[in-house]
Amino acid sequence: MRKPLLATLTAVVLGAAALTATTGTAVAAPDHVSGATPTAAAAAVHPGGTPAPVTASSFAGTVALSNCSGSLIRMPNSQATDPALVMTNGHCLETGLPSAGQVITNQSSTRSFTLLNASAGTAGTLKANKVVYATMTDTDVTIYQLTKTYAQIQQSTGIAPLTLSATHPVQGHAIDVVSAYWKRVYSCSIDGFAYRLKESQWTWKDAVRYTPECQVIGGTSGSPVIDTTTGQVTAINNTINENGESCTLDNPCEVSEQGAVTIHEGTGYAEETYGIPACFTTGNKLDLSATGCTLAKPATAAGR
């Protein structure tokens, strides 16, 4: 499923050798698929405490997890003094894969992340104190709160966060899938959108479909998908149809509004992130009841 594959994710968590077996090599992948040179990241903080956006194709602000990729992110209205956030996939959660319908909020965590600089070197280590939000329902995302603020991280590492776009991704726009785990950038375009993307027990809404150039592999799960027009994060990488099966583990299928099922063997997908900012209020606090927030809610809260 997403890379690392659902079928191999448990083994990856138990031992790094399992991921090596998934990818078929024990040697680190080349820095880029396309050979493009990463550009320098903006490191300054704008007046008023708003961090500058990170330039597309730079590794600055991306993070490597033990089994996945991710990114140091901010909401459009986040301030430098807010506790920093890291985003990766829901299926990368250290406590295991959330089941369909499961939503996790405010769960204690001590997970560590390797923060990269613009040229994919190590800029420092970040630590979480809680899982703010995690689910594989409607989308595939985990958001961690860190022990430091954006300002503290930037002061010690020189790295600013990536900004989540609050607008819907645009078909035809060029994108970069930036994997900190493999230190690779996959460049392609948004081919279109799947009304529903179904894989095994999970269903995701309005997923981004890549053009064929983005052949993502194990370890790229959770990579930020950056719109090269804006330099902002427009989605989060999460899966690819491995071998043409229909709606099975590691083989997502598209389901239309009318219920028609379509299979695109070898096609990769990402989950949109534009709806996330509406669910975070002042101080980077999660508020699932906020106006405009459409993220799935925990069953106990949804039933009230």
pLDDT value, residue 302: 45
pLDDT value, residue 20: 26
Token readout for 199 is 């894989």
pLDDT value, residue 299: 85
Cβ-contact 137, 200 below 8 angstroms: no
Angle 227-105-112 (CA atoms, 0-180°, nearest 5)? Answer: 65
Largest separation between any pair of C-alpha atoms in the chain = 52
pLDDT value, residue 1: 66
- Return the closest-CA partner of residue 249 out of 11, 18, 1: 1
Report the distance separating Cα 125 and Cα 122, nearest Å: 8
Sort residue 244 into left (φ over 0), alpha (ψ -120 to 50) or beta.
left
**Around Cβ 195, how many Cβ atoms within 10 Å?**
14
Report the distance separating Cα 152 and Cα 161, nearest Å: 12
Is the bond preceding 98 in cis, omega lying within 30 degrees of 0?
no
* Backbone phi and psi for residue 238, each to the nearest 5 degrees, phi listed first: -145, -15
Could you give the 3-state DSSP secondary structure of residue 14? helix
Token readout for 248 is 């099975």
Query: 114 exposed, middle or buried (CB, 10 Å; 0-12, 13-18, 19+)?
Result: middle
- Helices 6-14, 16-23: crossing angle, 10 deg rounding: 140
Give pLDDT tens digits along the chain (304 positions): 644 433 333 333 323 322 222 222 222 322 222 222 222 222 223 333 444 444 446 999 999 999 999 999 999 999 999 999 999 999 999 999 999 999 999 999 999 999 999 999 999 999 999 999 999 999 999 999 999 999 999 999 999 999 999 999 999 999 999 999 999 999 999 999 999 999 999 999 999 999 999 999 989 999 999 999 999 999 999 999 999 999 999 999 999 999 999 999 999 999 999 999 999 999 999 999 999 999 999 986 444 3
For 219, residues 6+ apart whose C-beta sits below 8 A from its C-beta are 3, 4, 19, 23, 67, 68, 69, 179, 181, 182
Angle 272-273-278 (CA atoms, 0-180°, nearest 5)? Answer: 135
Token readout for 99 is 């089941």
Token readout for 206 is 């309005």
Token readout for 83 is 């506790």
pLDDT value, residue 17: 28
**Global confidence as pTM:** 0.84
